[in-house]
Amino acid sequence: MNTALQPYPWHRAAWDSLVELSRVGRLPHALMLLGPGETGKQHLALSFAQRLFCSVPGEHSACGQCRGCQLFTAGSHPDFLLLEPEEAGKVIKVDDIRAAGEFAGKTASQGGWRVLVLSPAEGMNVSAANAFLKTLEEPGERVLIVLISHQGGAVLPTIRSRCRIMTLSEPPLGLARDWLAARASQGAEVERALQQAGGRPLRALRFLDGELRAQLERFEAALEALEAGAASALESARAVQDIPGRELVDWLQRRVYEHLRAPALVGSPRARPFFRFLDRLVAVRQRITGTANPNAQLLWEEVLMDWKAVLDFDLRHRAQERRA
């Protein structure tokens, strides 16, 4: 059975670049794949790792049948390590970083490459990132370290400066639409799912499975009730507290950007509270991805109270402008 991974079609140019670097012996020891989340960056890294382990790689993928491919597919290749947080949205622990350093310093047991994929790079706290610096500075022979990052600015500059950065943009809408339509039974829902996912096809695929879409609809209903004064921040927070916090931050950020795109706010002093609220959401994301494990009910009650205050402030200033 062929078990070869293939990069997504929108990553073909990046794939070809990696294959060429490998062919001419110019692969960096550390590579950072930087771009929007849920667009397949990690899949690209895994596909390329499999090709490095493959005995007879093709131009577009590994063979999927040799021993190296079979070990990789089974998750038992001794020269491969995927390092992720124990729980989605949480931090990568310093002990795991130290173990990864030991892995990268060893000789390949299969006589070829050793590959370490770390995802996401911003999942390392300061202690973990500092521990990881030694691994980047003293890599072993034929070691490829691939860092996946959705937010390059959240990665320490000392980490970024030691990596070759490959920036991957969002897929072209037509390509994302065709890929999604080929995998979705609800053809009529593809456009809506892509819109809800901000053009990110893997996220859109999750919207089509129903659960994420139901959560988004519940979030929107709670927010609309809050904004209309039909529900308090306490009631709205209670309605969404079981939804993963990282999803709530993403959706609320999108709501803020929708307001900021309004012509009346572009370049207006009225936009300042909205930008300050975006900074507030950055801090919220850090809290929910950290180790403190905040009380979701209290956290979102505070956030939604702040959001309502921003909207009320804007409403008052609009009224003043009309009177003036």
**Comparing C-alpha atoms, which of 118, 132, 110, 111 is closest to residue 81?**
118
**pLDDT above 60 for 186:** no
Boundary of a domain, candidates 167, 185, 202: 167
* Same structural domain, 42 and 152: yes
pTM of the model: 0.79
CATH number of the domain to which 113 belongs: 3.40.50.300
* Same structural domain, 19 and 162: yes
Beta-strand pair 30-34/80-83: unpaired
With cut-offs at 50, 70 and 90, classify the pLDDT of residue 158: very high
* Same structural domain, 244 and 146: no
* Same structural domain, 88 and 16: yes
- As a whole number of angstroms, the distance between CA 153 and CA 132 comes to 17
Boundary of a domain, candidates 134, 167, 200: 167
Strands (E), 96-158: 114-118, 143-149
Widest pairwise Cα distance in the chain: 77
**Comparing C-alpha atoms, which of 149, 254, 264 is closest to residue 199?**
254
**Comparing C-alpha atoms, which of 107, 135, 158 is closest to residue 29?**
135
With cut-offs at 50, 70 and 90, classify the pLDDT of residue 272: very high
In a domain, 83, yes or no: yes
**pLDDT above 60 for 227:** yes
139: left (phi over 0), alpha (psi -120 to 50) or beta: beta
- As a whole number of angstroms, the distance between CA 101 and CA 272 comes to 44
With cut-offs at 50, 70 and 90, classify the pLDDT of residue 192: confident
How many of the other CB atoms lie within 10 Å of CB of 256? 17
The domain total for the chain is 2
- As a whole number of angstroms, the distance between CA 176 and CA 38 comes to 12
Residues 38-49: tens digit of each pLDDT: 899 999 999 999
Residues 105-152: tens digit of each pLDDT: 888 888 889 999 999 998 898 889 999 998 998 877 899 999 999 988
Peptide linkage before 120 cis (omega within 30 of 0): yes
Boundary of a domain, candidates 167, 182, 213: 167
Residue partners of 123: CB distance under 8 A and separation at least 6: 84, 85, 90, 91, 92, 289
With cut-offs at 50, 70 and 90, classify the pLDDT of residue 188: low
* Same structural domain, 228 and 162: no
Domain that holds residue 232: 223-323
Which alpha helices (DSSP H) does 166-210 contain, by range? 173-181, 190-196, 201-208
* Same structural domain, 162 and 227: no
